[in-house]
Structures are given as structure tokens and as C-alpha cells.
Amino acid sequence: MSYMKILVDSGSDLSLEYCKKYDITVIPFSLQIEGRSVLDSERFDSAKYCEYLKVAPQAPKSIQPSPQTFLDYYRRFSDREHIIVITMSSKISGAHQNAVLARELFERENKSCRVHIVDSAGTSFAISMLAFHAAQLNQNGLPVSEIVEQLVEDTLHIGTYYLVDDISFFIKADHLSSFKGSLLAKTGVKSIIGVRNGMVYHHSSALGFQKGIAKLAALFQNNAFSGSDAFISHSNCISKAKRLEEAILRTAPGTSVRISPMRGTMCTHAGPDAIGLFFYRQRLI
């Protein structure tokens, strides 16, 4: 029996490969698509979904896991001494609150397993980075209380930036005001969206995707901790993710770069043909 279990929601963009490597389980959001509810599980084809998003008659919505869903997962791993749950930012999604509600129910029936919930204050690979670090600290034998404390500290140092093709998806997901977003959309430039203190904001604009990639690479070069890995997510545009990887390696040779496709949850928020960049920052956000 393992001492600790790590759970994340599907806003984390964790691939099956990483889940197996770090013994992490993903709790899926559901996607509301033309009146149907579809789980954003490992079987969900996010590449086909991104193609659908380009022609969808109405914008799909992502629905966070319910308290009952979180409770079911806690029960599934109740043989562990500790469960660490890392959720999408509580200022973006209700997943964090539902995880907390489920913990209250779980602790009434189980006194031997403790649930620790960490608000990632981020999205996508920002959640994954915390999960990776938790797994590594656990392997090093650090007590769970210290692991959780370190994860909370980590959230202050993770830089998150998206280069999006169509900003309307962030508007439809209520992450940007429709007024400001519409003005940006009409200019025809590509938007760089950041996440700071758990909230989405418009960071800057670029005249075309290539200049946007150059801006992301500069953000990494000027702000990343020395030796920080670079994490790149993409919504069915691996070629753009590779171009960002190449730009980062030109400015910071030797950087370890990990690329992973977005799951359906983040594809819904960021839209198709978007890329995300994540790294540990030198300065606090």
C-alpha cells in the first residue's frame, strides 16, 4: 500500500504517460456539448474536439466535478494515509470548493485517511507542475504537511501564459470581460493571456503567431528561474508548440521542455490552436 495518493482535476492537462509515471489520478470535468454531457476522461479525443470547436453551433461548457464525484474518488483511495488534491484555480472554477465539501463528508466516515486540498491558483500544466513536485517530494520522504506547505509556496512562483488564436473562447468562459475581449478580437492581433493570483488577465498582444511565440520565449528567458523546465500545452496544434520549444531552446539552450496536448477542459477555455507556456518564475507573482 502506498502512503500517499495525488489527485488532480482534468483542467491539469496531464497525459496518461505522466499519470502512470507519477501515480496521479485525474478527476474529470464534464463537457456540455449540444445538450449532451461527456466526461473529459482519458478516452476523450481532444484533437477531434478542437476541430469541432471551430464549427460548433454553440459554445460547449465545462462543468466541474461534483462534491459526490470527489467523494467517490476519496473513497476509492481511502486505504492511503493521505490524499493530496490539486485543483484548478478557485477563482476560475468551482472544482476547489466541491473538493472541500467532499472532504467534509469524507472525514465524517473515515478517520484514518486525511485529505489535503491545494488551490493551484492556475490552470493546465501549472496544476501538473505541482503534482510532479508533490510526487518527487514524496519519493524523497518529506512529510505530507511539508509537501503541502511547499506546494502552496510553489503556486506563487509559477508563470502561466497562453497565446490564443481566438480570444472569444476566454470571453465565453467568462474569464475576460466581453467589452474588452471584443475590442481585442476586432484588432486582428493575437492575444497573450496570463494567469496571476488565480485570475485570468490580458497580458499583451502580438502581430501574428510567430511574434507571439517570440514574446513567450522572451518571457521565459527574462523571468524563469535558472534551470527551470519549460512546460508547453497545446490545443491540437503540435507544430506551434514545437516552434515555441525551438524558440525557447534558442534563447535558453539546455532547457528541458515538456509538451502535452490540452484535455477537453482547457480546449473549451482556450479554444483551438492555442498554446500555453508554464515555468517557475524568479519573482513572486
Averaged pLDDT of the chain: 92
The pLDDT value recorded for residue 175 is 62
Nearby residues of 117 by Cβ (< 8 Å), 6 or more positions away: 85, 87, 96, 99, 100, 103
Name the nearest CA neighbour of 65 among 110, 102, 100, 29: 29
Query: Are 274 and 234 within 8 A, CB to CB?
Result: yes
Q: 185 pLDDT exceeds 80? A: no
Reported as a single tens digit per residue, the pLDDT across 226-258 is: 889 999 999 999 999 999 999 999 999 999 999
Q: How confident is the model at residue 177 (pLDDT cuts 50, 70, 90)?
A: low
Give the torsion through C-alpha atoms of 160, 164, 167, 169, to 10 deg.
-80
Q: What is the mean pLDDT of residues 8-21?
A: 92
Q: Which residues pair with 193 in a beta bridge?
A: 162, 202
- Between CA 232 and CA 242 the distance in angstroms is 9
Q: How confident is the model at residue 171 (pLDDT cuts 50, 70, 90)?
A: confident
Strands of 36-39's sheet in order across: 36-39, 30-33, 61-63
- Between CA 75 and CA 87 the distance in angstroms is 18
- Between CA 65 and CA 63 the distance in angstroms is 7
Q: What is the CA radius of gyration of the chain?
A: 18
pTM of the model: 0.92
The pLDDT value recorded for residue 282 is 81
Reported as a single tens digit per residue, the pLDDT across 23-79 is: 999 999 999 999 999 999 989 999 999 999 999 998 899 999 999 999 999 999 999
N-terminal to C-terminal alpha carbon distance within the chain: 38
Q: What is the mean pLDDT of residues 99-126?
A: 97
